[in-house]
Amino acid sequence: MILYVFGAGCIRFEVFLELYAAPLGRLRESDHVVVCDFRGVDTLTMELLKDKTPNVSVLHIGERPRYLPDKHRTQVSSWELVGGFDSDEARDRAAVERCTHFLAHDLSPVPGRTSGTMRVMQLCHQLGKPRIR
C-alpha cells in the first residue's frame, strides 16, 4: 500500500492522535507513506513516523521542504524528498497520483466553501483511491 496522508493545517494534537495515529500505527513494514510539508497533519505525520519507517516520501514546493524532522538517530535520512513543484495543487496532484490509498479528514466544513482537504479527497475518490480509517 502507498498511503497519502493529508488534512488540516490547524489540527489540534489531540484530534490528530484520535483520527490519524491508529491507522498509521497499523502500517506494515512494506507500506509506503506519501506526505507533503505543510503544517498540521503533514508535520505531525512526519513526527509520528520519523522513528518508525524509512518508507516515506515528502513532496514539497521549491528546493527544500518547509519542514523536515531531525535526521539524527531517526529514519528521516532514508526518506525520499521530491521537490520542484510550483504550486500546492501540482504537489497535491502528484501525491494523489503516487498513492494507492489515502488517509484524510475534513475538519473545517463551512457551508458554501470547499476546503483544500475536501478538494484533494474528492480527487482521490474520482481516481478510485480507497480511504482508510
Question: For 11-35, what is each residue's pLDDT tens digit?
Answer: 999 999 999 999 999 999 999 999 9
pLDDT in tens, 78-97: 999 999 999 999 999 999 99
Give the pLDDT confidence score for residue 44 in this predicted structure.
Answer: 98
Q: Select the more confidently predicted residue: 107 or 24.
A: 24
Residue spans of the domains in the chain: they are 2-126
* 16 vs 47: CA distance, rounded Å: 12
* 73 vs 35: CA distance, rounded Å: 21
What does pTM read for this prediction?
Answer: 0.96
Give the pLDDT confidence score for residue 66 in this predicted structure.
Answer: 94
CATH class label, 2-126? alpha beta
- DSSP string over 31-52: -EEEEE--TTHHHHHHHHHTTT
Question: With contact defined as beta carbons under 8 Å apart, do 117 and 8 qualify?
Answer: yes
Q: Which helix (H) or strand (E) holds 97?
A: helix 88-98
pLDDT in tens, 48-69: 999 999 999 999 999 999 999 9
